[in-house]
């Protein structure tokens, strides 16, 4: 097996598994219980959170543990006003996304749960307006895009490499903007975003708002799920107020993630219950999961430099030995991402041919791929439909060896030849 889809899933490493194991059957106590063995588990859980936090330059109490990056991304948006904003006079057309139609709802079904605006019964000529509170990169994962849409969001454009167009960002910030969400590393291209430059723009906007007495806050959120494998992630240096982490992408367990939350941001919980995680995320703590997450963070940060060199070499081998492709992610990319376009070829068919030869890779994000949806990421960087159809994502990782990289190049070349001949 040559597994080339590490952006979709990573195996739990041996060390991570060993860190989790004692907490399943032996140290299984509920961290909220009052007796000593439970308090010991609670202390170890907090220490593990401390390890994760320390790796990004934060403290244990800055982190909310979640069931993964999706939940963390959703939680990051929770300080926004989900409820529609009222207007009796109407705002400027450009400021609002109005979708309501004056229609008479049945009394039992009267509700206001729409994202863009509906007519309010009984109050003629008044509409509910959803302001654009969020700006997000057009290449963001669905767990950011779809949430942003719920709160009133607009997309920021990217260039051919998938990098944010800072001028477009600047142009789209209004006094209604409360959150800007830009993934540190894109999950389909590996594109690294200039977060500190975005943070600098945000600081200017904040100062300008302050000088004009505008009290609306503006925060920066980043999904760093894919980033920790090869980047030193530090919240202060990046200038983020909210940061999403994901154990499952860094050789930790599935079903565990975290949201870093700066002291200024006042989130609302997504669910209610026992009040764990400082009231922001109720539910008995997933102790083994967090112990594994901490070990994964520890391991991945320990080997950053070595891994960066290793993947840079392997990427070069692939680009040298592969034939007849166009490289999609040319610049500003993590070295373990190789996105190739075989124009005129159906990449789906390539994947099946390669699967027969024991090579596993994908056309894009696993969750989008399973629904047969064309990648919105490749579309956003300006690829044509046929270019998108011919695109392959290779993501290298810990399961690979240099020998496998040569072998993969050979097998991919052969598969491409077979496909070209068929046509």
User: Strands (DSSP E) along 98-164, which ranges?
Assistant: 127-131, 134-137, 153-156
Q: In 10 A of CB 90, how many CB atoms?
A: 13
Q: Closer to a copy of itself at the Cβ: 17 or 98?
A: 17
Q: In 10 A of CB 334, how many CB atoms?
A: 26
Q: Closer to a copy of itself at the Cβ: 105 or 344?
A: 105
Name residue, tokens 């791929």: 369
Task: Provide, rounded to whole angstroms, the least separation between the CB of residue 108 and a copy of itself.
Answer: 5
Q: In 10 A of CB 299, how many CB atoms?
A: 18
Calpha distance 241→263 (Å, rounded)? 8
Calpha distance 35→184 (Å, rounded)? 42
Task: Provide, rounded to whole angstroms, the least separation between the CB of residue 89 and a copy of itself.
Answer: 9
Task: Provide, rounded to whole angstroms, the least separation between the CB of residue 17 and a copy of itself.
Answer: 6
Task: Provide, rounded to whole angstroms, the least separation between the CB of residue 211 and a copy of itself.
Answer: 16
Q: Closer to a copy of itself at the Cβ: 137 or 239?
A: 137
Calpha distance 179→9 (Å, rounded)? 29
Task: Provide, rounded to whole angstroms, the least separation between the CB of residue 123 and a copy of itself.
Answer: 6
Q: Closer to a copy of itself at the Cβ: 6 or 163?
A: 6
Element (H, E) at 277: none
Q: Closer to a copy of itself at the Cβ: 16 or 328?
A: 16
Name residue, tokens 């999950």: 187
Cα 84 to Cα 60, 114, 126: the distances in Å are: 34, 8, 13
Q: Closer to a copy of itself at the Cβ: 55 or 350?
A: 350
């Amino acid at each position: 097996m040559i597994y080339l889809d590490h952006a979709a899933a990573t195996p739990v490493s041996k060390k991570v598994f060993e860190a989790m194991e004692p907490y399943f059957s032996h140290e299984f106590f509920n961290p909220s219980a009052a007796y000593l063995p439970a308090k010991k588990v609670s202390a170890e859980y907090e220490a593990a959170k401390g390890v994760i936090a320390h790796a990004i330059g934060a403290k244990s109490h800055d982190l909310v543990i979640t069931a993964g990056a999706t939940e963390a991304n959703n939680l990051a948006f929770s300080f926004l006003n989900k409820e529609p904003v009222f207007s009796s006079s109407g705002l400027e057309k450009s400021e609002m996304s109005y979708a309501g139609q004056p229609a008479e709802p049945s009394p039992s079904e009267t509700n206001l749960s729409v994202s863009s605006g509906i007519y309010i019964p009984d109050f003629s000529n008044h509409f509910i307006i959803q302001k654009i509170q969020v700006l997000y990169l057009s290449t963001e994962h669905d767990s950011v895009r779809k949430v942003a849409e719920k709160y009133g969001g607009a997309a920021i454009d990217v260039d051919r490499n998938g990098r944010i167009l800072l001028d477009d960002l600047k142009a789209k910030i209004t006094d209604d903007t409360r959150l800007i969400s830009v993934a540190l590393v894109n999950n389909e291209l590996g594109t690294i975003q200039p977060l500190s430059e975005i943070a600098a723009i945000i600081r200017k906007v904040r100062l300008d708002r302050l000088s004009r007495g505008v009290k609306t806050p503006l925060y920066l959120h980043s999904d760093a799920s894919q980033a920790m494998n090869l980047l030193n992630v530090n919240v202060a240096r990046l200038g983020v107020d909210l940061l999403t982490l994901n154990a499952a992408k860094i050789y930790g367990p599935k079903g565990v993630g975290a949201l870093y939350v700066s002291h200024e941001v006042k989130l609302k919980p997504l669910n209610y219950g026992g009040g764990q995680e400082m009231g922001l995320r109720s539910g008995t703590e997933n102790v083994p999961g967090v112990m594994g997450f901490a070990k994964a963070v520890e391991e991945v940060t320990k080997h950053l430099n070595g891994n960066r060199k290793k993947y840079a070499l392997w990427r070069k081998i692939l680009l040298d030995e592969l034939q007849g492709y166009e490289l999609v992610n040319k610049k500003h990319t993590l070295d373990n991402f190789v996105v190739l376009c075989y124009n005129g070829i159906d990449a789906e068919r390539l994947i099946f041919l390669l699967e027969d030869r024991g090579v596993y890779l994908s056309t894009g994000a696993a969750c989008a791929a399973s629904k047969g949806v064309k990648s919105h990421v490749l579309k956003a960087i300006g690829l044509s439909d046929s270019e998108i159809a011919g695109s392959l994502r290779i993501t290298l990782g810990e399961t690979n060896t240099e020998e496998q990289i040569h072998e993969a190049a050979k097998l991919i070349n052969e598969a491409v030849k077979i496909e070209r001949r068929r046509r």
